[in-house]
Each structure stands twice: as C-alpha cells, then as structure tokens.
C-alpha cells in the first residue's frame, strides 16, 4: 500500500474550517484514500473515503487532487469535539489483499475556543 505523509499537529479555531492535508505521492490507480479519526481513549472512527472524485458526507468533505498525489480533509465548522488524531490511509481493494488498514502517525488536530 502507498505510504502517506501528514503534518504531526495542527490547530484550528472553533467554528472555522479545519483543512487537514495528506500527501500520498506513490498512490496506485486502484487505491482509495480513507480518513479516520481517533478521539482520546476511543477506537478510531471512520470519516470518509474516495477514489478520485471529491466526496462529502455529514461529517466532512474530501478533496483529492487531479493527479491523486494528495488530498485534503475538510471539517467545515470545527467544534471542540473534533479535537482528535486524524489518520489518512491509502488502501487497495481486493479480498485477497486482506483489506487491512495501515495507520501512520496521523495529524493531531487541536480545536481551540
């Protein structure tokens, strides 16, 4: 699976948009980009995923560049409860591949009042 690079930490003001970048320059054509977050003392929580089109759900938006070498997770109106570690993961499909998620270090997002 392609490796991802994320900033170690970021701050965001409450009520503002949080934009979390992820670099995945070695991504393959059939690999998806997934985002999870982990709030302190809890298990990771799925946020969103995409292949090449931008995606939006009730939690966030995912913007993937045209060359697919990077992406940005956008939390449109960050709240204090969005303080967490955010993981960007590239994952290839296929039953035989195991589909396991490979987590990196993630970005620690601190939302401040």
Partner 1 sequence: DTGVSQNPRHKITKRGQNVTFRCDPISEHNRLYWYRQTLGQGPEFLTYFQNEAQLEKSRLLSDRFSAERPKGSFSTLEIQRTEQGDSAMYLCASSPDSFNYGYTFGSGTRLTVV
**Site residues (CB under 8 A) for partner 1?**
32, 34, 36, 41-47, 49, 85, 87, 93, 95, 98-106
| Least Cβ distance, residue 34 to partner 1 (angstroms) | 6
Cβ–Cβ < 8 Å for 59, 78: no
Instruction: Decide if 34 contacts 101 (C-beta within 8 A).
Output: yes
CA dihedral in degrees (58, 6, 41, 44; nearest 10)? 50
Q: Which is nearer to partner 1, 101 or 110 (CB)?
A: 101
Q: Which is nearer to partner 1, 8 or 113 (CB)?
A: 8
Which residue, 14 or 92, is less far from partner 1 as judged by CB?
Answer: 92
């Amino acid at each position: 699976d392609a490796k991802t690079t994320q900033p170690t930490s970021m701050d965001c003001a409450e009520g503002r948009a949080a934009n979390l970048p992820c670099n995945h320059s070695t991504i393959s054509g059939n690999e998806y980009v997934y985002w999870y977050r982990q709030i302190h003392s809890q298990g990771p929580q799925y946020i969103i995923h995409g292949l090449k089109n931008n995606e939006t759900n009730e939690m966030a938006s995912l913007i993937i560049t045209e060359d697919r070498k990077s992406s940005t997770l956008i939390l449109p109106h960050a709240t204090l409860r969005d303080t967490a570690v955010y993981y960007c993961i590239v994952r290839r499909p296929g039953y035989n591949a195991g589909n396991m998620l490979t987590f990196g270090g993630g970005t620690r997002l601190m939302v401040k009042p």
